[in-house]
């Protein structure tokens, strides 16, 4: 059982890091296009859109790199989960408002839909597994002993 | 897998070392990707400045717009963003604005409007700007009734308008439109407006209308 937890740990880390680095990399390449995606959400004042489009991708890349390195993993996973939760809430609110905006999540040109919201929620799972890993380990140990 | 146990490797160790190798490979990939992203060269763009609406080709920032006169989003881009860019940045030669005609087949009058605009361009930049301004301002009118000429006539002096009517007979105008469309297709333009913003050796493709404050923040970052 401990082996399963270990495999799960590495799978979650690599998947989550890959997702964050890829998503950040795409946005770093085209901050203006990402800015236009943010503008489409009609949530952020115009003056803050470009700075957000410039720095948010670097935050994503930073989180991805930290997940790979493994430094303060639980806290980094917590940060990643918070960011993903934020994205999910924003996507849901924008979709509920009936705004036909570009998701801007992994590349451009994909409109917000229940599918994009579900995908964000799915990505949240590995982050939650990393946060609650110690509990999972305890549970696994108990299971092995039993 | 069995022989690894013989040599003293535990299952945990195998998983950990495998994952560490993958982590290292991933990190190297990340670094290489970032270097590639930051050093991406700009595509070689059209070097002639005959379609520069504002600024010169030596400006530090270049915006190429593929636009359709009858598309409402193109109107919004011109009226709410590009006019201010032309006023605040192109006049001081910080931004070069290039307009390419990209009339879509679904719009009945956009090719005709593009023909008028190109004829006006042959008269001079000021006349071109006036016609562009008038065509986009009156778009809701002529898009309905097809009276493109009325809007163009309003933008020019009578003598300029007469000269423009003569220029309109020039077959090179249709050729220029076809060349612009071919250029757009070559550069994967799928919708209008599509902008290509080139600065610091990098090109960014934007397929939506950018609010002016967003572009302004970007310009101010590049040209301090």
Residues of A in contact with B215 (CB under 8 A): 32
Angle at CA B77, nearest 5°, toward B71 and B83?
125
The structure's pTM equals 0.77
pLDDT tens string A37-51: 999 999 999 889 999
- E strands, chain B, are 52-54, 61-67, 95-101, 194-199, 202-206
Per-residue confidence (pLDDT) for residue A89, from 0 to 100: 96
Element (H, E) at B176: helix B172-186
pLDDT tens string B141-185: 999 999 999 999 999 999 999 999 999 999 999 999 999 999 999
Task: Retrieve residue B209's tokens.
Answer: 């209308």
Residues of A in contact with B217 (CB under 8 A): 47, 49-51
How close B22 gets to chain A, by Cα (Å)? 8
Residues of A in contact with B33 (CB under 8 A): 21, 25
Per-residue confidence (pLDDT) for residue A107, from 0 to 100: 81
Average pLDDT over residues B71-81: 95
DSSP string, A14-82: HHHHHHHHHHHHHHHH-HHHHHHHHHHHT-S-HHHHHHHHHHHHHHHHHHHHHHHHTTTHHHHHHHHHH
Share of chain B residues as helix, strand and coil, in percent rounded to the nearest 5: 60, 10, 30
Task: State the Cα–Cα distance between residues B49 and B56, nearest whole angstrom.
Answer: 7
Interface check A17 vs B, CB under 8 A: yes
- Residue A51 has its nearest CB partner, among B11, B33, B217, at B217
How close A134 gets to chain B, by Cα (Å)? 16
Residues of A in contact with B38 (CB under 8 A): 28
Size of interface A-B (CB pairs under 8 A): 99
Average pLDDT over residues A64-82: 94
**In this predicted structure, which of A61-70, A87-96, A118-127, B41-50 has the lowest mean pLDDT?**
B41-50
Q: Are A128 and A85 in contact (CB under 8 A)?
A: no
Mean pLDDT of chain B: 86
Bridge partners of B197? B63, B204
Question: Which residues 34-53 of chain A have a CB within 8 Å of chain B?
Answer: 35-37, 39-40, 46-47, 49-51, 53
Omega before B193 within 30 of 0, i.e. cis? yes
Interface check A107 vs B, CB under 8 A: no
């Amino acid at each position: 059982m401990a082996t399963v937890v270990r495999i799960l740990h590495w799978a979650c880390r690599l998947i989550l890091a890959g997702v964050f680095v890829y998503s950040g990399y795409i946005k770093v390449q085209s901050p203006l296009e990402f800015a236009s995606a943010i503008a489409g959400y009609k949530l952020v004042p115009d003056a803050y859109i470009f700075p957000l489009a410039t720095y948010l991708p670097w935050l994503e890349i930073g989180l991805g790199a930290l997940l790979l390195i493994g430094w303060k993993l639980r806290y980094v996973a917590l940060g990643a989960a918070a960011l993903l939760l934020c994205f999910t809430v924003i996507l849901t609110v924008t979709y509920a408002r009936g705004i036909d905006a570009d998701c801007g999540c992994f590349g451009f040109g994909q409109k917000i839909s229940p599918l994009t919201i579900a995908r964000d929620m799915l990505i949240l799972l590995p982050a939650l597994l990393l946060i609650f890993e110690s509990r999972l380990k305890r549970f696994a140990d108990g299971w092995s002993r039993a | 897998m069995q022989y690894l146990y013989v040599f003293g490797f535990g299952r945990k160790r195998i998983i950990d070392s495998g994952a560490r190798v993958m982590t290292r490979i991933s990190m190297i990939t990340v670094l290489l990707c970032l270097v590639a992203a930051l050093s991406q060269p700009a595509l070689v763009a059209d070097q002639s400045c005959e379609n520069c609406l504002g600024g010169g080709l030596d400006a530090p920032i270049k915006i190429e717009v593929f636009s359709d006169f009858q598309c409402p989003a193109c109107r919004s881009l011109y009226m709410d963003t590009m006019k201010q860019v032309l006023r605040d940045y192109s006049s001081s030669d910080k931004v070069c604005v290039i307009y390419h005609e990209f009339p879509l087949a679904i719009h009945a009058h956009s090719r005709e409007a593009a023909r008028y605009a190109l004829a006006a361009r042959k008269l001079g930049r000021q006349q071109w700007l006036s016609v562009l301004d008038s065509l986009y301002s009156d778009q809701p009118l002529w898009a309905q009734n097809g009276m493109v000429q009325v809007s163009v006539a309003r933008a020019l002096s009578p003598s300029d308008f007469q000269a423009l009517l003569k220029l309109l007979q020039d077959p090179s105008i249709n050729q220029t439109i076809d060349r612009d469309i071919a250029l757009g297709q070559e550069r994967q333009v799928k919708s209008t407006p599509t902008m290509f913003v080139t600065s610091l050796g990098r090109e960014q493709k934007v397929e939506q209308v950018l609010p002016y404050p967003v572009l302004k923040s970007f310009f101010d970052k590049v040209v301090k």
